[in-house]
Each structure stands twice: as C-alpha cells, then as structure tokens.
Amino acid sequence: MPGILILAEKEDGKLKKYSRELASKAVALAKSLNAPVYGVVIGNQASAAAEELGAFGVQEATAIEGPGVQSYTGDGYAKALLPLIQELKPQIILASASGMGKDILPRLAMKLKAGLATDCVELSIENGKLKAKRPIFSGKVFVDVTFLSDVQLATARPNSFAVTVVDAEKKAAVKTIQSASEGARVVVKEVKEAEKGMKDLTEADIVVAGGRALGSSENFKIIRDLADTLGATVGASRAAVDAGYISHDHQVGQTGKTVNPKLYIACGISGAIQHLTGMQSSKVIVAINKDPEAPIFSKADYGIVGDLFVLLPILTTKIKELLGK
C-alpha cells in the first residue's frame, strides 16, 4: 500500500517543532494521495514523542529504541531504519532538512534507488507523485524537482510549513522496536558542549548576527546580550568567522548555514552576496550598519544607519522593557 513515512525528531522527549511542521505537511499530502502517514522516531524515549504525532493526524508511529540507537550516528540510524522501511514499503519518505535528515535520507535514497530532493521549501502531489521546490546555489535560484523514481524522498527546510493541529488530545498508536548495538562502525566517544543552550541556526526563530565591524570576540558580547534577550541564536558573517571573532558554527551564508528565521538582525554586516543568499529567506530583516551604502540595506525591511556599539545596548534595553524582563 502506498503511504508516506516521516522521520520525526525529538528533543528532551518532545517532538521538535520542525517535525510538527513535517507531520502537518505529510498529512496534507497524504490526503491527496488517499494514503496513510506513518511516523518513526529514533532514540531513547522515542515512544513519547512518537505518540505526539497523533495530534497532527498521524495514526501509526514506530519508536526505535535500544542500545543500537542510544547516541546518534548517521550510520547506525540509517541501518536501524531500513528494516522498518522494507516492512512498510512507503511510496514517500520525508524528513526535515536538519543535521539528521540531511545525513540519513541520502543513504536511504541510494539503498532504495529512490530520487531525493533536499531542503525543500514546497512539497506537493502531482500525477500521484511528489513534486518539490527547493533552493540551489544557497538560495540564489529555486528549482522544481520532478521525480522519475517510484519511491520519492525529500527533506523539508525547517520553518517552511505551517503546523496544523488536527486534535491536540489524539495520540498515535505506537509500536516500539528495540535496536541492538552489534556491528557499529561509527561510535560516539565524547560529546562536548561548547556553548550552552544555543539553538541551531537552521532552526532558530530569531537570529542576531554580527560582522567584522564588531572588531573582536569580546565585542560579540553585545550581540549575545541582544540574542539572549530575544531568545535568539547568534549568527555571524564569514568575515567575522575568518577574523577569529567567533567559531564557524555561527557562520551564515554559502559556506556556512542557510537560515530561515522569522526575524534576522544583521549588525555590522555589509552584506556580501554569499551572506545575503544565506539569510534572504528570513521573514523580516533588520540591518544596523555605519555605512549607508552597505548592500545589506537593499534587502532589509528596517534599516538603521549608525554605530552598532551605541545602538545595540539601547535596543537590548528597549526590548527588555517590551518583554518585561
């Protein structure tokens, strides 16, 4: 029976926001195919998160738990998923274009000889098959992807689809599978938390980014202060990363990360083309820069020409006042 399988993700035992978006989208697609949606969640305490999928209209879900999937490795997770896919034989497999989705779906695509469209911002059904729209050249161009394969795989960019709750109380029927740990070829030896509590750039709702104008790593504190106030993630331009002010984890742009937040605040970033392509899908862009000619202003919804060292502390205080902090 054709069906859609979604690979959902969890954090602290709860479904990730982008997985809720994905479930909502999958349920909508399944309606036009008249096919069921199956969910799968992998890792410790996956079953609680799998149950949550019911709220979005997913009836059945599988939780893969056990020593084989205790810590994430693309190799181990892809291996754990294959038997389930062979059992369900879904026509479409969807995941989020998260670190995990991007790491796992290409492996499955190759094993299944299935076409894959990555990082999609639109998904629809056309002639009984999945059709996708996705950015290439880091957002400089959008392409429509047509599948030539029977089985179709796609990853969806976080923050691209609305969350549609069908019944908040409804729980999906969950089957739990135990995964053994034999034959692991990749092993996690150590996990280091370099910066506590930072949400990944690709899934952040708000990003406050700093550029070379910050001048030093210490000065990034004013960016972090504003970000903390807004519950935002800190971004940076390539120039700031290459100057050593902040690690590459924060880089937004073509050789960094593509972000899709509702608010992007660019501080002291002039706006090289590689940076602009990485952030131009943000819903609202604010630019703060000394140079009135900076290209960033041509993309910004709101711009302030001025010294960020003067402006940012004031802005942080004003936002604190607004949020009652």
Partner 1 sequence: MNEHPALPVRMKGVRGEGATKWRVKVRLCWTAKQIRRICGVNGPPDIMKIGVLLKQTPDTETKIKIKSDATGIDESDIKWVINPFDEYAVEEALRLKEASGGGEVVIVTAGVKRSVDSMRQALAMGADRGIRIDTEGVSVDNYTTALMLSKVVSQENFEVVFAGKQAVDDDGVHVAHGVSAELDWPCVWPIEHIELGADKKLVKVTRPVGGGVKEILEMQLPGIICCDKGENAPRYASLPGIMKAKSKPIAELKAADLLGGATPLVQFTHFALPPERKAGKILKGEPEQVCAELVKLLHEEAKVI
Determine the interface stretch with partner 1 among 35-43, 96-104, 158-166, 171-179 (rule: CB under 8 A).
96-104
Q: Using the rule CB under 8 A, is 75 a contact of partner 1?
A: yes
Determine the interface stretch with partner 1 among 21-29, 161-169, 171-179, 306-314 (rule: CB under 8 A).
306-314
* Contacts with partner 1, 234-253, as mask; x by CB under 8 A: --------------xx-x--
């880091």: which residue's tokens?
Answer: 138
**How far is Cα 248 from Cα 266, in angstroms, rounded to an integer?**
17
Pick the closest to residue 92 from 151, 157, 14, 163 (CA basis).
Answer: 151
Pick the closest to residue 209 from 307, 275, 274 (CA basis).
Answer: 275
- Kindly state the smallest distance separating residue 57's Cβ from partner 1, in Å: 28
Using alpha carbons only, give the angle 251, 258, 260 rounded to the nearest 5 degrees: 120
* Contacts with partner 1, 147-176, as mask; x by CB under 8 A: xxx---------------------------
CB of 32 or CB of 298, closer to partner 1: 298
CB of 33 or CB of 263, closer to partner 1: 263
Using alpha carbons only, give the angle 222, 227, 228 rounded to the nearest 5 degrees: 100
Instruction: Enumerate residues 17-46 that contact partner 1 by CB under 8 A.
Output: none
CB 10 within 8 A of CB 41: yes
CB of 8 or CB of 61, closer to partner 1: 8
Q: Using the rule CB under 8 A, is 185 a contact of partner 1?
A: yes
Size of the residue set binding partner 1 (CB under 8 A): 92
Pick the closest to residue 58 from 175, 156, 203, 151 (CA basis).
Answer: 175
Q: Is 38 left (phi over 0), alpha (psi -120 to 50) or beta?
A: beta
Q: Using the rule CB under 8 A, is 139 a contact of partner 1?
A: yes
Q: Using the rule CB under 8 A, is 314 a contact of partner 1?
A: yes
Q: Using the rule CB under 8 A, is 146 a contact of partner 1?
A: yes
**Using the rule CB under 8 A, which residue among 3, 158, 211, 303 binds partner 1?**
303
DSSP structural state of residue 86 = H
* Contacts with partner 1, 198-237, as mask; x by CB under 8 A: xxxxx---x-----------------------x-------
Q: Using the rule CB under 8 A, is 92 a contact of partner 1?
A: no
Pick the closest to residue 229 from 321, 142, 145 (CA basis).
Answer: 321
Instruction: Name, in order, each residue with C-beta under 8 angstroms of 110's C-beta and a sequence gap of 6 or more.
Output: none
